[in-house]
Chain A
């Protein structure tokens, strides 16, 4: 019986020690907690963090409310603007020695074409503190980098979406099964496109068409006398009113109020040549030597945590790569998060946002658009 008790004790001890973190693990846990506490305290002393975000009032409002509740001593100052406008300003300030921005979030074209040549970014991984952010297992496809050096531009979203929409009273979806069908004379003057000369979904769509169909196709497409606009809402309005039958490069979120109002706008089933995959506006960059380094660290860990990713995903209607954030609801607005539908290989085969793709696909496509749309 005595042996039984001893054996039982040993078994219990073994079980407890197996369940509790090991010594080194405990030390690691204590390490990040201590670092986090110190960082938050230092951030409070810095007072604020300045972040450039995509132009969305919903996103701005959501972030301000949520971050403010979570870290009451740290002011989140947000600058909402179109990607190209924000990056130009950040570059000019950086070159003039004005240290104002800590972080920029947005698409990759402006970042690759304007930030990377200036060598003005900090490596991101040293800013990861919380294990839930650091651990690649929490992310679909692990940590994903846009730049070739794999340390300056972090992509936290991956998704695909219906980027061709049609007016159901003017067009039947079976009339456009391939991108070649855009060239049908029936659609002359009836196609709208978000200006591909400026960064955004229009530029992404145009680049994908260049990638899969080539320059000659683009020339024929421009000959279709497309309605070119820089304002997504105006193009969505043109489709809803039947001024155009098809739009290219308008994000699903813009159509949401039209769908809710029961107007005849619908996403076109993906043409047979497929569509591109993207990280949308979900790319994080940290300006070199940020003025508020600790507050920057706090913000990065909040943004890449569950709460930050939920806010960002809801604010813009784009799909995060974080595995613990629900993205199924995005299907209602025509967005499919990569983690729900694709393998990493499928995603990478069709992306056109990485530094490599910006240089090999987007830059030539941009040059063609500037030539053709004068």
Chain B
């Protein structure tokens, strides 16, 4: 590996060594954490022996993955659902982010917060809430509409293609606002002002100036969203499978759930998905590699909001209504569910009860689960913010050879659906002696959550760093600062709001994650989300909903704290 600065090693030996050493160390760490589980998965896609028998390698898993009836339809549904969701969410997300970040919309801070919350809500209970409203047979909205004289059949059916798209909108729009608003906020208003002076209207400015400059963030948000859409699972399982809509991840779940599990088929399917992801990452690099997107330099920064004039309050009503639909409505039903004897049944005798809360508060493992959640969330948030910022810095701000490889590797954890990532990490930790002493402890859950959060964490910080001009770092170096001191004293203070947010997002992901940690948790390291799973699997939805409300309360509190201390995906102005 050759660093550009090696030409000057005689003059500045320490700086070169630090950067080179750091990159090598990060590469080794990320390769170990990412490639090993992936390698184990790929090898297992060829392992076709039955339990107890010696290992036999063959193509049976691949054959089943490709020829399994229904697989083509699953692929078709996977891509069509993902693409349509992304188109709708991106369109709505860009407009919302622009309104919140660039205009004088009233209460925009709280509106942004509402969309944040929608992204953090757990999918399972929210889906149950939507079923309650939009089921074709008993959905409350359908029933109300059927009372109208001109409505003769239920207008909505949540168990359908469009029902799945709708149920995903809460999270899909939320993540777009989460990612795009801070990037829009970092845009120097001088660009918009220049456009207006040149006679271009607001919409023309948005699409000809703002969107092209925002392309790195938009592209990152789109690709992250697309990958997340491709591996979406819970909503499809509940709303799609009963009506014959299978997607790639539900097929994988099906193969893993068999007794004995068909791991070779599931991992073969996952490997095909990996190829699609690599293609998306390559496209993103190809697009971003040729352009410059600096919006913040050492020359000053204007963030004057655009006045909406007479559209200010109509726009507010529209955004607030959407915010209510994606946050308040589902959370209201989530909360209502905790007081119901039988979730979704309003018309039974004695429909309301406090027993679910009483039961959960008397559960001897509640406090331990809460403590484990906090420990895993804070550990992953802290470790993630440090590690991701270092990786992003090497990728975005250095010329070290091999940084492209680091960028590429940091995407890979998202190439594996949660249900398989859990298996891969489980096998990795089990078969790697260095992990044995911490196997089954919460430290392993922290490591797993850091790996899982790597793509979004690194990409978020990277997109912020790409907007940061290099004059300030150059000035620091000219003043005698070395690489490390420039990073610590110039870069970190500038991007700390983004670091806080990345730490928070990692905390929240850890607090609500089930699929990644389900195989790694033990009785003693059970988190709140695993406690919720205990109740869900035991068919006790009402008590699971109580735990879900606790998780939502915890992440809301974390989000409020981060908001109070200034966390956002941006650089400091």
Given A60-B534, A233-B539, A262-B348, verify A79-B522 contact (CB < 8 Å): yes
- Residues in B with CB closer than 8 Å to A232 are 539
Cβ-defined contact, B543 with A261, below 8 A = no
Q: A78-B523, A96-B430, A229-B241 are in contact. Are A257 and B342 (CB under 8 A)?
A: yes
Q: In the assembly, what is the distance between CA of A242 and CA of B345, in Å?
A: 13
Q: How large is the interface on A (under 10, 10 to 19, 20 to 34, 35 or more residues)?
A: 35 or more
Q: Verify B52–A93 contact, CB threshold 8 A.
A: no
- Bound CA span A98–B431, Å: 10
8 pairs, A vs B, C-beta closer than 8 Å: A57-B538, A57-B543, A84-B261, A100-B522, A113-B259, A234-B238, A261-B342, A374-B70
Q: Indicate whether A81 reaches chain B with its CB closer than 8 angstroms.
A: yes
Specify which chain A residues have a CB less than 8 angstroms from the CB of B518 in the assembled complex: 85
Residues of B with Cβ closer than 8 Å to A?
Answer: 50-53, 68-70, 135, 137-138, 238, 241-242, 254, 257-261, 341-342, 344-345, 348-350, 363-365, 426-427, 430-431, 436, 439-440, 518-519, 522-524, 534-535, 537-541, 543
- B260: which of A60, A64, A114, A257 is its contact (CB, 8 Å)? A114
> Which residues of A are interface residues toward B (Cβ below 8 A)?
50, 55-58, 60-61, 64-65, 68, 77-85, 88-89, 91-93, 96, 98, 100, 109-110, 113-114, 116-119, 195, 197-199, 203, 227-234, 236-238, 240-243, 253-254, 257-258, 260-263, 366, 370, 374
Residues of A with C-beta under 8 A to B50: 117
Task: Tell me which residues across on chain B come within 8 A of A237, comparing CB atoms.
Answer: 344
Enumerate chain B residues within 8 angstroms of A93, measured Cβ to Cβ. 430
For A374, the chain B residues whose CB sits under 8 A away are 68-70
The 8 Å CB contact of B436, one of A60, A92, A98, is: A98
Excluding A58-B540, A198-B258, 14 further A-B contacts by CB distance (< 8 Å) are: A60-B534, A68-B364, A79-B522, A82-B537, A84-B258, A92-B427, A117-B53, A197-B258, A228-B241, A229-B241, A236-B539, A238-B242, A261-B342, A261-B350
- Residues of chain A within 8 A (CB-CB) of B254 are 197
CA distance in complex: A234, B430 (Å): 34
Question: Within 8 Å CB of A64, what residues of B?
Answer: 364-365
Known: A65-B364, A261-B349. A254 touches B539 (CB 8 A): yes
A270 to B524, CA, bound (A): 43
Complexed CA–CA distance, A243 and B430 (Å): 44
Residues on B with C-beta less than 8 A from A198 are: 257-259
Q: Which 9 A-B pairs have the closest CB atoms?
A: A117-B52, A233-B539, A55-B537, A77-B523, A261-B348, A96-B430, A374-B69, A56-B538, A84-B259
Among residues of B, the one whose C-beta sits closest to the C-beta of A250 is: B539
Assembled-state Cα–Cα distance A227/B244 (Å): 9
Query: Do A366 and B259 touch (CB < 8 A)?
Result: yes
| Cβ of A32 to closest chain B Cβ, rounded Å | 30
User: Shortest Cβ distance from B369 into chain A, in angstroms?
Assistant: 12
Chain B min CB distance to A363 (Å): 10
B525 CB to closest chain A CB (Å) equals 10
A98-B430 contact, Cβ under 8 Å, with A117-B50, A374-B69: yes
Closest B residue to A60 by beta carbon equals B534
Interchain CA distance A116-B535 in the complex, whole Å = 30
Alpha-carbon distance A26/B440, docked complex (angstroms)? 46
Residues of A within 8 A of B238 (CB): 234
Distance in angstroms between the alpha carbons of A10 and B349 in the assembled complex: 71
- The listed residue with most A CB atoms (<10 A of its CB), out of B50, B69, B258, is B258
